[in-house]
Amino acid sequence: MALQLMTERWSGKISVVSIGATKEELGTRTHTIRIGGEESLPCLFQEAPIPNKPAIAFEIWDIAPSDWLDELNKVYGNVLNDPLKWAEKCVKEFKAQSLCIKMQGAHPDFGNRSEKEEAALVKELLKRVSVPLIILGCGDDTKDNLLLPACSEAAKGERCLIGSAVGDNYKTITASALADGHSLIAESPIDINIAKQLNILISDMGLPLERIVINPTIGALGYGLEYAYSIMERARLAALSGDKTVASPFVCFVGQETWRVKEAKTDHPEQGIIWETLTSTALIQAGADLLVMRHPKAVEKIDKYIEELFNHK
C-alpha cells in the first residue's frame, strides 16, 4: 500500500510586494522583484503554490565601512570609497538583481551627512544603476525622521523599499512612502506581537498591508537564529491561518549579522562565507522572502541553492 503525503489547506496567503517600477509602470527600473505570495509553509511545494522565489539584494553603504573584515574589503577593493562605483560593481560584475543602500554616513556618530546630501546620492544612484532599490536609514530614529522622507522623495515613482519603520518613527516614514509610491520595511525586535501591532499602526495611516515587509530582526547561526526562526514560523502560521496583519513577506539582513560574529573573524576567510551561506539557507526554510547579503561567493551559493530547491519542487 502506497503512502500518501498528508497536506494541509490554509485559509490565508502571504501578500505579494513588488519592488522596482519599470518604464511601463512610470519608473526607470529594468525589472521588478516580486516577493511573497506563499499559500503554504516554506518549501512545501506539494501543498500549495509558492509563486515567487526568495530574492537577494547586495548590501552597499554610502561611506566606506570601517568595521568590515579583510575578506569583504578584498572583494570590493577601492570601490568601497565610492558608493556609485560599488553599486556598479555589484550589478555589472556580480550580477546583482537588486541593491540595498544603507545610509550609515548620515548617523551622528559616522559623519552626520545631511539629508540633502543623501537624497542627492539616491538620485545619482538611480541614474547609474537600473535595478530595484532598497533604501535604509542610518539607524538613529531622530535622524531617520529627516533622512528617509528626503530619500523617499528623491526616488519618487521608483517603487523602492524604504526602511526601517519602528515604533518611534513610523508616522513620518509611512507618510513619505504613501506620498512617493514606495513600500515599507516594518522592524520589530523578534516579537510577533510587536510586529503585528506595528503593521496595524502603519496600515491605519493608509498604507496597504500589501506594501509592508516585516524585518523580524534575525540572529546569525549560533547567535539567536533558532529564536528568530521560531518567531518567523509563528508569524507564518498565523498568516496562513487567516491573520492578514502578519501576512507580510520577510526581509532578513543576513550580511550584517553573520560578518560580525567571532567565527567570521578567523584566519580562514572562507568561514565567514560559510556562516553567511548557512544562515541564509536556514532563514529560507523559515520563510525568508528577501535576503540582504554581503559576500558575492555566499550570494552565488545561495542563488544555486534556491534554483535547486525550486527546480526539484
Decide if 100 is inside a domain.
yes
DSSP 15: P
Mean pLDDT of 21-30: 96
Look at residue 3 in the predicted model and tell me its pLDDT: 62
Q: How far apart are CA 161 and CA 211, in angstroms?
A: 9
Q: Measured in whole angstroms, how far is the alpha carbon of residue 70 from the centre of its chain?
A: 24
pLDDT at residue 312 is higher than 90: no
Decide if 212 is inside a domain.
yes
CATH number at residue 228: 3.20.20.20
Look at residue 287 in the predicted model and tell me its pLDDT: 96
Decide if 150 is inside a domain.
yes
* Mean pLDDT, the chain, integer: 94
Total domains, the chain: 1
pLDDT at residue 198 is higher than 90: yes
Decide if 67 is inside a domain.
yes
Look at residue 2 in the predicted model and tell me its pLDDT: 60
pLDDT tens-place string over residues 215-242: 999 999 888 899 999 999 999 999 999 9
Q: Which residues pair with 186 in a beta bridge?
A: 165, 214
Q: Compare 7 and 256 and report the one with higher pLDDT.
A: 256
Decide if 177 is inside a domain.
yes
Angle, vertex CA 214, rays to CA 210 and CA 216, nearest 5:
165
Within 106-219, where are the H helices? 115-128, 141-154, 170-180, 192-204
Decide if 5 is inside a domain.
no
Q: How far apart are CA 310 and CA 238, in angstroms?
A: 24
Look at residue 190 in the predicted model and tell me its pLDDT: 83
Q: Which helix (H) or strand (E) holds 254?
A: helix 254-258
Domain span including residue 110: 17-311
Tally of helices (H runs) and strands (E runs) in the chain: 10, 10
Q: How far apart are CA 246 and CA 308, in angstroms?
A: 29
- Beta strand 212-215 with 251-253 is unpaired
Share of the chain above pLDDT 70, in %: 98
Decide if 217 is inside a domain.
yes
Look at residue 4 in the predicted model and tell me its pLDDT: 65
Decide if 10 is inside a domain.
no
Q: How far apart are CA 148 and CA 102, in angstroms?
A: 11
pLDDT at residue 1 is higher than 60: no
pLDDT tens-place string over residues 172-183: 999 999 999 999
Q: At 84, give phi and psi (nearest 5°).
A: -70, -45
Q: How far apart are CA 83 and CA 64, in angstroms?
A: 8
Rounded to whole angstroms, what are the CA distances from 259 to 100, 103, 139, 276, 299?
16, 19, 18, 7, 14
Mean pLDDT of 23-30: 96
Mean pLDDT of 148-162: 97
Please choose, from the candidates 102, 7, 114, 10, the residue with its C-alpha nearest in 3D space to the C-alpha of residue 57.
102
- The C-alpha cell that represents 258 in the structure block: 553573520
Look at residue 268 in the predicted model and tell me its pLDDT: 85
Number of residues in the chain: 313
Q: Measured in whole angstroms, how far is the alpha carbon of residue 252 from the centre of its chain?
A: 5
Q: What is the DSSP string of 33-70?
A: EEEE--SSSTT-TTTS---S--EEEEEEESS--SS--H
Residue 267: pLDDT band (50, 70, 90) is: confident
**Quick check: 183 and 234 in contact, CB under 8 A?**
no
Q: Which residues pair with 59 in a beta bridge?
A: 100
Residue 5: pLDDT band (50, 70, 90) is: low
pLDDT tens-place string over residues 122-142: 999 999 999 999 999 999 999
Q: Which residues pair with 36 in a beta bridge?
A: 16
